[in-house]
Amino acid sequence: MTTSPVLLLVFNRPATTRRVLEALRVARPPRLLVVADGPRSEHPDDERLCEETRALFDDPGWPCEVTTEFSSVNLGCRMRCISGLDWAFAREDRAIVLEDDCVPHPTFVPFCSELLERYRDDERVHMIRGTNFLRGRRLSRDSYYSSRFCNIWGWATWARAWRHYDGEMRRWPQMRDNAWLESYLPSPAMAKLARYFFEETYAGRLDAWDYQWVFAGWLRNAHCLVPATNLVTNIGFGIDATHTRDAEPGLDDLPLQPIAFPLRHPRDVHVNEAADRLEWELMFPALAAEDSIVQRLAARMGLRWRPSHKASKS
């Protein structure tokens, strides 16, 4: 089996980046693509920290081809990730993507590589992710299942899927002003949360790139493949994080578990509704009743909760 290239998105956190590299040394992917943002002029420590982070790739610790795309200026989270992913998928037909705070289990790379090959031409599959938030619960004997939820704490996709990405979310006003989310998602609470973050991203109040990626997949009714065990843990919660300064209970430092090979493939890639509902209940138990979880997430990102984000009657 050919191992797909690993794309690392890094910035100014040498300590977390080092832990990601240490984990990858076990998997030993033959190629690394490294995208780095530049230092911020108003942060005097950034230049040193960015240099320390980039220096880690002078010798990753195993024989591999390293290709870099380092920015000399600070582009910000949104534009650096978008431009970096554009750069990667202009040269590769597939890639496994890790940010500088997402530590993978050694089986994450071969898991993604096998599914990237198996589903390379299947437009029903938008991406593969590494996180499983079901906390050890399994709903089948298969090695993975299909979900609506496109978490990007360690993920993989193809150039054929990335071509649908629109950083400006130009179709959002059309979709916002009807009941699309309410019909697509299995509960009003899920639609409420999605509507809020799509609107904040579209309006430019949230410096994010990933909600546009979720939106692109949902527009096509394309799904995400989720491993039956948790293969990636996020160690980046803290004051220097961009969007995850305070962890929701149970989301930081999720335990890593290996996935067994050979993989047991499901018979189809229809969304596992039971798994999606269980994940939702475990991650956001308060949202079913009221807006409190949305307010808390918004405050964590420096945003203001706007209850006016509602669907128009069609």
Alpha carbon 248 to its chain centroid, in Å, reads 16
DSSP 142: S
85: CB partners within 8 A, 6+ apart = 7, 35, 97, 162, 165, 209
30-50 pLDDT, tens digit each: 999 999 999 999 999 999 999
Average confidence (pLDDT) over 116-143: 96
Give the span between the Cα atoms of 305 and 291, in whole angstroms: 9
Q: Tokens 């096998």, residue?
A: 114
Reported as a single tens digit per residue, the pLDDT across 167-215 is: 999 999 999 989 999 999 988 888 988 999 999 999 999 989 999 999 9
10 Å Cβ neighbour count for 141? 8
Residue 312 near residue 195, CB atoms below 8 Å: no
Burial of 271 (0-12, 13-18, 19+ CB in 10 A): middle
Report the distance separating Cα 276 and Cα 222, nearest Å. 15
Question: 106 pLDDT exceeds 50?
Answer: yes
Is 224 in contact with 128 (CB distance < 8 Å)? Answer: yes
Question: Taking phi first (over 0 means left), then psi (-120 to 50 degrees means alpha), and beta for anything else, what does residue 154 get?
Answer: left
Confidence check: pLDDT of 299 > 70: no
The percentage of the chain sitting over the pLDDT mark of 70, rounded to a whole number, equals: 84
User: Do the beta carbons of residue 121 and residue 198 sit within 8 Å?
Assistant: no
The structure tokens 């089986």 sit at 107
What letter does residue 271 receive in the DSSP assignment?
Answer: B
Any idea of the CA torsion for 231, 237, 243, 248, to the nearest 10 degrees?
A: 80
Residue 103: pLDDT above 80?
yes
